[in-house]
Amino acid sequence: MTLSIQPEEQRSVTVRAPAKINLHLGVGRPTSDGFHPLDTVFQAVGLYDDVRASDGDGSVTVETASYLPLGVLPDHADNIVSHAARLLAATAAEGTELPPADLLVEKRIPVAGGMAGGSADAAATLVALDRLWDLDTSDEVLLDLGGRLGSDVPFSLLGGTAHGTGRGELLQALPDGHTWWWVVVPSPEGLSTPSVYRRFDEMFPDAPESPASSHAVLSALSSRVPDRLAAALHNDLEAPALDLRPELGDLIARGEADGALRGMVSGSGPTVVFLCENGDHARALADGLQDDDLPVVLVANGPVSGAHVL
């Protein structure tokens, strides 16, 4: 009899997590912890990062889509996916064997773009490693770990359309049966979120304690009328982002002159998004905007699912 020893199959789990747009971003005066109270409405849109976790030796590799400028990503130890892996591992019962895992991040969401790309990577890592390690972590614990990694990570897990308060991590899912169409224009160079919040503090030292309410966006969403949502879109970080990058104002004006229902900075920027009537309108606007100065113009719709296994 001949015994053949089969090599152990390398297991892997791939998780896809979406970018977000803030349809409303009301920002209040910072509290004693330095964070700003938010009243925000997130929408997950169909632009994704994937994280593949596989049996390995603990390496982290980042592959960036060819259309994205090569942003400087933190090295291994500082990368948010490594933080996510350590945080999840720390929740495992004592004595549980957690084999080292390799993480491959495939980035398509603009880096430092105001679309929660880093948060998507953290959310995808939590879900991928939870599956690879068979931890069966509850949604509640995953959301809590997400909130510790970054204010937008819980939303990357949840997806859809949601109302966010606190730092943006306290979420309530919203019914949103319409498909909204966006043109997304990344910038060649990212903006750091803390620097935009700092500029906000300098420009608005008397910002109200309570952030502006999102009720206009909530009622526009339930109307399902793109013109109504266009009129209700609101971003308190737009003024500081435009102050740091005045050329974004020209881009918004150009998209609106070309027929966008409304253009705005996404979150803390510098990505600019344009709301369109429907898919045909978005594709036509994107075609018109794309030129030598704007080589990358994307079309995405929302809402879409949060982090999910492929």
138 is in an annotated binding site: no
* Cis preceding-peptide flag for 30 (omega within 30 of 0): no
Query: Smallest distance from the beta carbon of 121 to ligand C5P, in angstroms?
Result: 12
Closest of 125, 93, 145 to residue 309, by C-alpha: 125
Place of tokens 């409405």: 41
- Residues within window 161-180 making contact with ligand C5P, judged by CB under 6 A: 167-168
Binds ligand C5P (CB under 6 A): choice among 21, 38, 47, 264: 38
* 193 sits near ligand C5P (criterion: CB under 6 A): yes
Nearer to ligand C5P among residue 197 and residue 204 (C-beta): 197
Q: Which residues pair with 53 in a beta bridge?
A: 13, 103
118 is in an annotated binding site: yes
* 146 sits near ligand C5P (criterion: CB under 6 A): no
Query: Smallest distance from the beta carbon of 153 to ligand C5P, in angstroms?
Result: 8
* 151 sits near ligand C5P (criterion: CB under 6 A): yes
Q: Which residues contact 75 (CB under 8 A, 6 or more apart)?
A: none
120 is in an annotated binding site: yes
* 197 sits near ligand C5P (criterion: CB under 6 A): yes
Place of tokens 């929302």: 302
Query: Smallest distance from the beta carbon of 28 to ligand C5P, in angstroms?
Result: 9
- Site size toward ligand C5P (CB under 6 A) is 11
* 82 sits near ligand C5P (criterion: CB under 6 A): no
Strands of the sheet containing 298-302, edge to edge, are: 262-265, 272-276, 180-185, 298-302
For residue 14, the one-letter residue type is T
DSSP string for 24-41? EEEE----TTSPPPEEEE
Query: 3-class SS at 206?
Result: coil
DSSP 239: H
Whether 78 is catalytic is: no
Given the rule CB under 6 A, which residues bind ligand C5P?
35-36, 38, 150-152, 167-168, 193-194, 197
Residue ranges of the annotated binding site for ATP are 110-120
Catalytic residue numbers? 20, 152
